[in-house]
Chains A and B, each alone.
Chain A
């Protein structure tokens, strides 16, 4: 297509072309600009820089760990005080319960609250305000999925730390709970709810990402509570009943394992759903 006017108007409707009138002067004027030709030295420099990013480049391998750490540090600014305080509050609650009635109530609170904390934490750090990231970040080659997983890893690491401290408290109280069973029964819902919150937030928005896991977990708690109330007639407190099923129920263990897998699947799916650029996190 050599005609400069055609190069301007090709694809426009006939009425639009007519409305534009004679564009010869404009087309020839635009043609006078040959553009900025890159210098050979500039191209050589560009190639030298780019070679460091080639797959298999030793420079890439050396950069990886430090890059992840820098990325994690850059993302940590998105977490405001309220996030850290919420986690510490749960820890404080665990501590007080362990002082008051650690044997029975602490595992109950741990199972009920820890997954919620993780799910709400995910919805919180992916809230709309954090979509617009820093200026530097926009101009780096960091992929959207890398940013998503780094932020997620920070949330999970914080929640894991709090949960492990709570587990330690439970272990110190020394009830008849097998720790690995309790850990698995906690990890399943936590991963499933986190995965659901993560996927729903990326797929839709942080409101859905908060409501969906909270709703689901609320339903499960209500179902469990009605069962616990029914057991109350047999003389068992809800906390004692929970300890009993943690210690003895194999279907619960299988359910928790499946929840782990579902959670991991949702986390992977969310990474693939990460948008590419137009309305993306990067």
Chain B
């Protein structure tokens, strides 16, 4: 379905993607134009590493180009699902484990979680952008990804449930605990600065 934007009808992501699968370079440029920035922001916030995020964005696009299956009904959640899975693989990778302290996520019975950064390190950061990044890195990856997808990408919780493969109740729980933790860290940080 075409999307109306400022009186001009734009092709939907799904239409563009079908053209991309037909080998259309213009359609590919259109998809890159739409998703390069948002995916880079999502993955940078998710991993805290801009260079790794750049690589993952490229891999995400390569995956959608080499996909041989049926084109997705909803493109946007699908591409974020791929990006999110790449981020998950990054957290599992040996390179990541070498660089960080690695903890298994016992609550979820699974083994991927970015190691929470100690809250003290927040105070060491200077610009707002870096501070937000530091706060996000304090959260377990499963909570962080839900907050990112909700707040910055504005996905509904149902869509986040599809993207992460977690039941809706679990997504709500992760969002709730993530927000509570983030708020607590921020308050501690503010108290620390006041003192």
Contacts and interface: CB of A to CB of B under 8 A. Distances in A.
Contacts of A43: 32-33, 36
Q: Chain B's interface: helix, strand, loop or mixed, by majority? A: helix
A47 B29 contact: yes
B95 interface: yes
Contact of A13 (B32, B81, B172): B172
A164 B188 CA distance: 72
A55 B62 contact: no
A57 interface: yes
A77 interface: no
Contacts of B29: 47
B151 A30 contact: yes
Interface stretch (A21-29, A178-186, A196-204): A21-29
Contacts of B59: 139-141
A138 B176 contact: no
A141 B66 contact: yes
A135 B55 CA distance: 14
Nearest to A4: B151
A104 B190 CA distance: 87
B150 A7 contact: yes
A12 interface: yes
A215 B75 CA distance: 44
Nearest to A56: B23
B53 interface: yes
Contacts of B82: 277
Contacts of A36: 40-41, 44, 50, 53
Interface size class of A (residues with CB under 8 A): 35 or more
B154 A11 contact: no
Given A33-B128, A141-B66, A12 B44 contact: no
B26 to A, nearest CB: 11
Interface residues of B, number: 66
Interface of A: 1, 4, 7-13, 16, 19-21, 23, 25-27, 29-30, 32-38, 42-43, 46-47, 49-51, 53-57, 135, 138-141, 143, 145, 276-278
A135 B94 contact: yes
Interface stretch (B8-16, B100-108, B129-137): B129-137
Given A30-B151, A141-B66, A51 B28 contact: yes
* Most chain B CB neighbours (cut-off 10 Å) among A13, A25, A30, A46: A30
A124 B189 CA distance: 53
B20 interface: yes
Given A20-B176, A141-B59, A141-B63, A47 B28 contact: yes
Given A46-B57, A50-B65, A11 B179 contact: no
Interface in B1-46: 20-25, 28-29, 32-33, 36-37, 40-41, 44-45
A2 to B, nearest CB: 11
Given A8-B151, A33-B129, 14 more contacts: A11-B157, A11-B172, A16-B172, A16-B176, A20-B180, A29-B128, A30-B132, A32-B128, A35-B41, A37-B40, A50-B58, A55-B21, A55-B22, A55-B23
A62 to B, nearest CB: 15
Nearest to A271: B68
Contacts of A42: 54
A38 B194 CA distance: 36
